[in-house]
């Protein structure tokens, strides 16, 4: 899986015309998702959603791995909850 990402200082500190960052990966994408999450600055003024195609019994471990390695807050996404900037939300499969 090829991952190319560039987050400039301008992007990380300025308001954006985009409202959300979405990270979507196939079942083998955990290394790439971790790389992306570690590279995002904690000052990124956008919410991040993460969907990893996994069996539901593996999803808990996936979220725990991201929570331990991220420089920003990582939470489970909840139906009806508002998404906050500076936070990554893991969507349950």
CATH number of the domain encompassing residue 67: 3.40.50.180
Nearest to 42 by CA among 77, 85, 81: 85
- Look at residue 3 and tell me if it is in a domain: no
* Residue 5 clears pLDDT 50, i.e. is over it: no
Render pLDDT for 23-58 as a digit per residue (tens, 0 to 9). 998 878 888 888 888 888 878 888 999 988 877 777
- Interatomic CA distance for residues 73 and 48, integer angstroms: 10
Residue with the two structure tokens 């995002």: 40
- Look at residue 86 and tell me if it is in a domain: yes
Tokens linked to 83 = 């998404």
Number of domains in the chain: 1
- Look at residue 9 and tell me if it is in a domain: no
- Look at residue 11 and tell me if it is in a domain: no
Length of the chain: 93
- Look at residue 59 and tell me if it is in a domain: yes
- Look at residue 1 and tell me if it is in a domain: no
pTM: 0.72
């Amino acid at each position: 899986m090829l991952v190319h990402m560039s987050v400039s200082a301008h992007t990380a500190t300025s308001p954006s015309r985009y409202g959300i960052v979405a990270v979507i990966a196939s079942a083998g994408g955990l290394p790439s998702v971790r790389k992306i999450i570690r590279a995002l600055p904690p000052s990124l003024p956008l919410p991040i959603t993460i969907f990893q195609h996994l069996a539901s019994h593996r999803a808990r471990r996936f979220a725990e791995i991201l929570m331990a390695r991220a420089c920003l807050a990582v939470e489970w996404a909840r139906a009806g909850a508002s998404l906050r900037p500076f936070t990554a939300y893991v969507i349950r499969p």
